[in-house]
Structure 1
Amino acid sequence: MDFDFSDDQEQLRDACGKWVEKGYDFERRRGIVSAGGFDRKAYNELAELGLTGLYVPEDLGGMGMGPVEGMVTMQELGRGIVLEPLAQALISGAVLAGYAPDAVKAEWCGKVASGEALVVLAHTERGSRYKTDSCKVTAAQSGDSWTVTGDKNVVPVGDQADAFLVPALANGKMALFLVERSASGVGAKGYGTQDGGRAAEVSFKNAPATLVTLDGQTALEHAIDIGIAATCAEAVGVMDQTLAITVEYMNTRKQFGVVISSFQALRHRVADMKMQLELARSMSYYASLKLNAPTNERRAAMARAKVQLGNSMRFVAQHAVQLHGGIGVTDEYIVSHYFKKLTAMEMAFGDTLHHLGEVSNRMQDTAGVFA
């Protein structure tokens, strides 16, 4: 199998990398965190690069690209621990293009691709514990119109988004709806998250909604899998930079008159970090390449990838802080922010233990050493 990237993919990587390096430095990020954890101007800059339209077909105003391009992009954004939720644009663009009626596609896909509309997935509920079939929000139909009622929590930039993709029970079956934040009956209470980003508790009370699909379970699982693949790719970028920062520190920090990178025990720990990073990179490739596979195959692949990425994120983050010593947990020093980002990402779209259970549940009778 050829794992070389095409010229177009390398150009995309280069463009994203340059934006992160020149347009999203640590000081700008600190300012965005202080201002609440989201900057619409920065999000619009991502849109100007075409990134918000990666998964939107060209005939609907997007770039018409695929999972590998999404992976390349998210890796570069991970290096800069970018706060703006591009993964949500990938999710909404793909789901609307793949499941929505033609009229809804025509109205919303172009807006998502251009950055005019930030549409985020609002699927998490209290007590759901990452289960996709656990839903208390309900939908009611009156003629051709729908309304939704209930609460969603930890919605990415929920008080800043323009619309939500909302799973809700319609006649006892999961369906997926699009609800505008400006609609009557919608309330959002925003707050900062551990990694410096932003989320919100969102409530719906007979809020007018647009039906995306009555097969909400299938659409939701696909949306979550897109989010997992994006998170895995972003995590690789975060870990890449975390390791680079740690190595640079060890090459300058002196103890007993010599740089600490000369100590064999510490060099072994860095080698272990590198090994975990490469394991994670391989599984991120695997997740991206399986994103368009049949449902059962895709779901199993995402769970496997998230287990490895979760283990790698925890290992790299903890060792980076330990090798830095006390400075590694100070707000003024950048590695602490990479640590917090990796900690938060380990729980995104299902934590490691949840996905370990998914891997176990999806094993077939032939699974095992002697299969």
Structure 2
Amino acid sequence: MDFDFSDDQVSLRDAVARWVDKGFSFERRHGIAKAGGRTREVYGELAELGLTALTVPDSHGGMGFGPVEAMVVMEELGRGLVNAPLAQGALMAPALLATGPAELKDAWWPQIADASALVVLAHQERAARYRLDRVATRAVAQGGGYTITGVKSIVPAGDEADAFVVPANLGGADDDDSGIGLFLVERSAPGVTLRGYPTQDGARAAELTLANASAQLITTDGLAVLQAAVDIGIAALCAEAVGVMDRLLAITVDYMNTRKQFGATLASFQALRHRIADVKMQVELARSMSYYATLRLADPEPRRRQAIAQAKVQIGQSARFVGQQCIQLHGGIGVTDEYIASHYFKRLTMIEMQFGDTLHHLGEVSDRMQETAGALV
């Protein structure tokens, strides 16, 4: 099987890498994080590269690229530790709106493409854990439209977003997956309240409270669309994690080649070289599963969801191993806020928890293997 990237994909990767090297130094990122993590300006710079238009159809001002191009971009952004919400705003949001009415797409896809609007998914609820099919937020038909009441937690870049895609229950029980709809709620709508806060990885999130907030219906078949969009987000996270791990490994190797102990560099000790070899193996395992997740995004739902869960398990395991080993090889300096490695470690920790932690996705993999696991029947 040929895993080489096309010329266009290589050019795209190189363009992102050049921007990271010239425009997003660690000092800039650290300053943004210390100032609260607002990255709308950075998001605008990504728009100038065309990245916010990456998956928007060309009929609506986008580039019409697919999952592989998104993976290439996210891996490079991971290497640079770019904390702008590109995956949420440019990859997931277009997919969430794709099944909506034409007037909704005509209004929002061009704004997503040129970054004049940031649209993010607001789906997490306190009682739902990582389940997408448990929704307590309620939608009520009213006056030819809908109003929504509920609370969504840890909305990425929530207090910087212009609109939210909100899953809401259309009348069934909280765990009735047949009654979930998707709605677009504008930030300026009456009844919308936001409480923003910085996250430990230098980005931002918000609590979104909706009190009879006006909303536009995207689709009444919300769960299937939500699952597909979250899978896109997980595949993007996997690619980002590979970039983060790649760079953290390089930082650690460079440190070991310069730091001396007992009159010799750390890289000269065989036991430490073996540990770096183990780290490299975990990075490559993660890379292969990132490719696997991306290539399975076009598969039918059961196969796609299983592949995504398998990839997230490997990414979570690799991220934990790589992060812990690299920080330990640094010693005390590795956890200081002024040193770059600690920020890569924090991002890996956040990636492991987003869209379901390793244990959650291990359960997902197990559930989908029940028909083939155990003794032959």
TM range (shorter): over 0.9
- Give the deviation of 1:171 after TM superposition: 2.6
- Give the deviation of 1:39 after TM superposition: 2.1
Question: Equivalent pairs: percent with the same residue?
Answer: 64
CA distance in 2, matches of 1:369, 1:122: 42
Aligned partner (choices 350, 365, 371) of residue 365 of structure 1: 371
1:108 partner amino acid: W
2:59 aligns to what?
A: 59
The answer to whether the Cα contact below 8 Å between 1:195 and 1:337 also exists between their aligned partners in 2 is: yes
1:111 aligns to what?
A: 111
1:146 partner amino acid: Y
CA deviations on 1:147-168 (whole Å, 9 max, x unpaired) are 1100000000111100000000
CA distance in 1, matches of 2:35, 2:162: 19
CA deviations on 1:17-71 (whole Å, 9 max, x unpaired) are 1111110001110111122112211100111111111111100111100000000
SS at match of 2:149: strand
Instruction: Specify whether residues 201 and 253 from structure 1 end up closer, same or farther in structure 2 by C-alpha distance, changes over 3 A only.
Output: same
Where do residues 73-222 of structure 1 align in structure 2 (5 Å cutoff)? 73-89=73-89, 90-96=91-97, 98-172=98-172, 173-222=179-228
SS at match of 1:318: helix
1:70 aligns to what?
A: 70
CA deviations on 1:298-337 (whole Å, 9 max, x unpaired) are 1111000000000000000000100000000101110000
SS at match of 1:293: coil
CA distance in 1, matches of 2:316, 2:302: 21
Q: Which 4+ runs in 1 deviate beyond 3 A? A: 367-371
The answer to whether the Cα contact below 8 Å between 2:148 and 2:214 also exists between their aligned partners in 1 is: yes
**Would you say 1:329 and 2:335 are equivalent positions?**
yes
2:240 aligns to what?
A: 234
- Give the deviation of 1:277 after TM superposition: 0.1
- Give the deviation of 1:2 after TM superposition: 1.1
CA distance in 2, matches of 1:293, 1:155: 28
2:284 aligns to what?
A: 278
SS at match of 1:133: coil
CA distance in 2, matches of 1:297, 1:367: 16
2:18 aligns to what?
A: 18
- Give the deviation of 1:368 after TM superposition: 6.0
CA deviations on 1:263-301 (whole Å, 9 max, x unpaired) are 000000000000000000000000000011111111111
**Unaligned 5+ residue runs, structure 2?**
173-178
CA distance in 1, matches of 2:143, 2:41: 40
CA distance in 2, matches of 1:370, 1:44: 56
Q: Which moved more, 1:139-148 or 1:62-71?
A: 139-148
**Unaligned 5+ residue runs, structure 1?**
none
CA distance in 2, matches of 1:296, 1:113: 30
TM-score, structure 1 length as denominator? 0.98
- Give the deviation of 1:100 after TM superposition: 1.1
- Alpha-carbon RMSD across the aligned residues, in angstroms, is 1.1
CA distance in 2, matches of 1:365, 1:156: 36
2:88 partner amino acid: Q
The answer to whether the Cα contact below 8 Å between 1:53 and 1:93 also exists between their aligned partners in 2 is: no
1:235 partner amino acid: A
The answer to whether the Cα contact below 8 Å between 1:93 and 1:113 also exists between their aligned partners in 2 is: no
Aligned partner (choices 224, 240, 244) of residue 250 of structure 2: 244
The answer to whether the Cα contact below 8 Å between 1:58 and 1:64 also exists between their aligned partners in 2 is: yes
The answer to whether the Cα contact below 8 Å between 2:239 and 2:290 also exists between their aligned partners in 1 is: yes
1:338 partner amino acid: Y
1:190 partner amino acid: G
**Would you say 1:342 and 2:374 are equivalent positions?**
no
In the alignment of these two chains, the number of paired residues is 370
TM-score, structure 2 length as denominator? 0.96
CA distance in 1, matches of 2:188, 2:24: 30
CA distance in 2, matches of 1:38, 1:219: 29
The answer to whether the Cα contact below 8 Å between 2:39 and 2:203 also exists between their aligned partners in 1 is: no
CA distance in 1, matches of 2:372, 2:356: 26
